């Protein structure tokens, strides 16, 4: 095959950026990822500064805002709770 009639030339969508899936728009980071350290405050201080809810089991900050309704759990306790529910049969 010569370069003028390659299979790529036969398909008009090859190499056309509009033929690919659109890149999803950037999502804002969760509040837990945007923490700032102020004078070496501990994790409880960070939860108050960032307006984050505390975990109802261990008291560590969660990734949910303080105004979140319902039971708020940190990622570790949430995973453990899911494991308990999965094994309860």
Compute how many other C-beta atoms are within 10 angstroms of the C-beta atom of residue 32: 16
Arithmetic mean of pLDDT, 19-31: 59
Structure confidence at residue 87 as a pLDDT band (50, 70, 90): confident
**CA–CA gap between residue 57 and residue 24 (Å, rounded):** 35
Q: Is the pTM of this model over 0.85?
A: no
Which residue in 82, 62, 85 sits closest to 72, CA to CA?
62
Better pLDDT: 66 or 32: 66
Compute how many other C-beta atoms are within 10 angstroms of the C-beta atom of residue 50: 16
Burial class (CB in 10 A: 0-12, 13-18, 19+), 72: buried
């Amino acid at each position: 095959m010569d370069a003028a009639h390659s299979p790529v030339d036969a398909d008009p969508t090859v190499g056309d950026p509009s033929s690919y899936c659109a890149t999803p728009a950037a999502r804002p980071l969760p509040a837990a990822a945007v923490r700032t350290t102020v004078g070496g405050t501990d994790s409880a201080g960070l939860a108050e500064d960032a307006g984050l809810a505390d975990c109802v089991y261990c008291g560590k900050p969660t990734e949910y805002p303080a105004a979140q309704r319902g039971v708020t759990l940190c990622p570790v306790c949430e995973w453990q709770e899911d494991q308990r529910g999965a094994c309860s049969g």
